[in-house]
A and B are shown apart, each in its own frame.
Chain A
Amino acid sequence: MPNEIWVTAEQQGGKVKKIAFELLSAGIDFSKKTGQEVAALLLGSGLEEAAKSLTPFADKIYLLDDPSFTPYTSDAYLMSIASLLKEHQPSLLLGGATSTGKDLFPRLAMHLQTGYVPDCTGLSMGEDQKLTARRPLFGGKVFAEIAFSEARPQMATVRNNTFLVNENPNRSAKIIPVSPRIDPFSVRKKVTGFERAAGAKLDITEADIVVAAGRGIKAPENFKIMEDLADAINASVGTTRATVDEGWRDLKDQIGKSGKNISAKLYMAFGVSGAIHHVLGIGTCKTVVAVDTDPNALIFNYADYGIVGDLFQIVPALTDELKRVLSSE
């Protein structure tokens, strides 16, 4: 039986993403059942700090620290990871359902002729090392529990906030440096530029708290009150398709069927009617708050807490109240 569980620890600028700690925490849980070791796979360059941050969360860190891994290209990553996987044959390979995960994992699975389940919202592990993955279909109208064939590794990408980060992981990883295994002639894609999104906020798929306004915000400049609220609680600002189609907000902040699925711990929607396109994107948020002037707005059917009210009154007051209670701690 394979004796390792692997997690690709995605990092950006040398800082490991939260999803990696969530997945390693899940891996530690699984390992208690299966008796396997948990290994983090860390690729990039200048990774000393990143490796250090992972040490308590794994038994091993396979460290591929080389300039050829920054920025990410599927060509370089795939060759190196595939070669390592063939050598060590772990039973499981997990990664975040991020732009990198979604670019790399399907291709890697096809390359390895193994099974892959994308965008999972739950995983469970049997003592026989067999994974069952849970994921939404049709934008979350239905969920499926999915099993894998005998091919290994079993591969899955997982949404943010599916697992809690273990506060006491208590591991002490051995760092295993691995030299890159890249044939330079087969790196075909070249990253030639990067435009950083305005503002320093996390992407709405990665933020623990997302606040959003829909058409009810009436004008693009009114999003200022949303930004203020977000700043008070370290949230990111999302929106609906309507405001994106109006050109008020950037597409990257659109929640819903043709935008992004978010899995925040807290989602607060203001002046969002709750069209099916939108609510399909918030199904796996833990707590949902809805504020709208229309008591019959559909969004209330998908919320945990609701207020019938005017967002222009509620949002600034909420910002002040949150600032007040948080500063008195």
Chain B
Amino acid sequence: MGLPLTPDASLLTASDSLEVGMEIYVLVKQVPDPEAIIKVKSDLELEIENKYFTSFFDEIAVEAGLKLKEKFGGKVTVLTLDNRRVDALRRGISMGADEAVQIADPAFEGSDQFAVARTLAAYLKDKPFDLILTGRQAMDDDAGIVGPGVAECLGIPHVHSIISLEVDVQGREAKVTREVENGKEILTCPLPALFTCQKGLNSPRIPQVMNVMKAMKAQIKKVDLASLGLGPADVGSQALRVKVQKYLPPPKRPPVKMIKEDFPENVKTLVKLLREEAKVI
């Protein structure tokens, strides 16, 4: 079942690469646009309008990677696991990423987030990375499992939902701020590490038209399951730890009750309804 955990994170460290800057990988995903219409077609099937965009939090991760590259030099590679869509990779390239890798294989159909994380980690495990970045969650399943899952498989530390990031390349350490319920927590974390990125970390750049055109033609490296040393039993429906049994439409709210009296009676009525009907105050 699955991959063995990497025993020692220091084996992954590419101290040599520091002389030439930072080796950064960004995990990205193309997801339905927030405006896309999504409906339940049957118990196990969704109808998704063909309107996609690069998950916003992943763009923030790309931007964070590019900023570090501009400061320290190095390389940003965007990586996706998707059998069909490579638009998130092209978006990353158009923003300034150096390389793009698509992991694709028919065996991935129906994989859960754990299989996706194991597969991404299998690709990354022998790469000389200093930092792995991704969004705090993909804006489709909103799960936030893949980032921390990859970090666990690689045996490197992670911090979820960062809103600031500073790297000390010589000290091989990052200083990050994480959003928590009643404030902000500041942490230091040795590299290599994985951080999931939250709005507020930066504003992703809008790619220039020239770069968009260039990205359309950029070469995308394709990686399949077998080349990662994984078999069909490691991914897809055979490896599910969680399984959707049924899709449901969202629960419907009863029609709105408009309070049509004049001011200030409408306010009095609202308070009465909240206390006596809804019983929430």
Q: Which residues of A contact B (CB under 8 A)?
A: 12, 71, 73-75, 98-100, 102-103, 106-107, 109-111, 113-119, 132-134, 136-149, 151, 188-197, 202-203, 205-206, 209, 233, 251-252, 254, 257-259, 265-266, 276-277, 280, 283, 286-290, 300-309, 313-314, 317-318, 321-322, 325-326
CB distance from A121 to the nearest CB of B (A): 9
Known A-B contacts A148-B242, A251-B199; A109 and B145 likewise in contact (beta carbons under 8 Å): yes
Q: Which residue of A lies closest to B5 (CB)?
A: A111
Task: Kindly list chain A residues whose C-beta atoms are within 8 Å of the C-beta of B149.
Answer: 106-107, 109-110
Residue among B181, B190, B253, B278 making CB contact with A98, cutoff 8 Å: B181
Task: Kindly list chain A residues whose C-beta atoms are within 8 Å of the C-beta of B175.
Answer: 192
Residue of B37, B163, B281 most packed against chain A (CB within 10 A): B281
Q: Within B70-126, which residues are at the interface with A (CB < 8 Å)?
A: 112-114, 117
Known A-B contacts A139-B139, A147-B242, A318-B267; A189 and B250 likewise in contact (beta carbons under 8 Å): no
CB of B280 closer than 8 Å to a CB of A: yes
Q: Which residues of B contact A (CB under 8 A)?
A: 1-2, 5, 32, 34-40, 46, 56-57, 112-114, 117, 139-145, 147-149, 151-153, 157-161, 163, 175, 178-190, 199-200, 240-251, 253-254, 256-259, 263-264, 266-268, 270-271, 273-275, 278, 280-281
A290 CA / B258 CA spacing, docked (Å): 9
Residue among B57, B200, B243, B273 making CB contact with A146, cutoff 8 Å: B243
A106 CA / B39 CA spacing, docked (Å): 28
Known: A98-B181, A192-B186, A257-B139. 19 other contacts (CB 8 A): A99-B161, A102-B161, A103-B160, A103-B178, A106-B147, A111-B152, A118-B143, A146-B242, A149-B241, A188-B190, A190-B188, A206-B181, A252-B179, A258-B57, A287-B274, A304-B256, A306-B257, A317-B264, A326-B281
Task: Kindly list chain A residues whose C-beta atoms are within 8 Å of the C-beta of B256.
Answer: 290, 300-301, 303-306
A136 CA / B244 CA spacing, docked (Å): 12
Task: Kindly list chain B residues whose C-beta atoms are within 8 Å of the C-beta of A301.
Answer: 256
Residue of B46, B247, B267 most packed against chain A (CB within 10 A): B267
Q: Which residue of A lies closest to B151 (CB)?
A: A107
CB distance from B257 to the nearest CB of A (A): 5
Residue among B38, B40, B160, B280 making CB contact with A209, cutoff 8 Å: B280
Complex contact B159–A103 (CB within 8 A): yes
Complex contact A304–B253 (CB within 8 A): yes
Complex contact B145–A118 (CB within 8 A): yes
Complex contact A149–B243 (CB within 8 A): yes
Task: Kindly list chain B residues whose C-beta atoms are within 8 Å of the C-beta of A111.
Answer: 5, 152
CB distance from B170 to the nearest CB of A (A): 18
Residue among A103, A195, A305 making CB contact with B184, cutoff 8 Å: A195
Complex contact A106–B247 (CB within 8 A): no
Pairs A-B, 5 closest by C-beta atoms: A115-B241, A193-B186, A203-B181, A103-B160, A110-B152
A192 CA / B184 CA spacing, docked (Å): 11
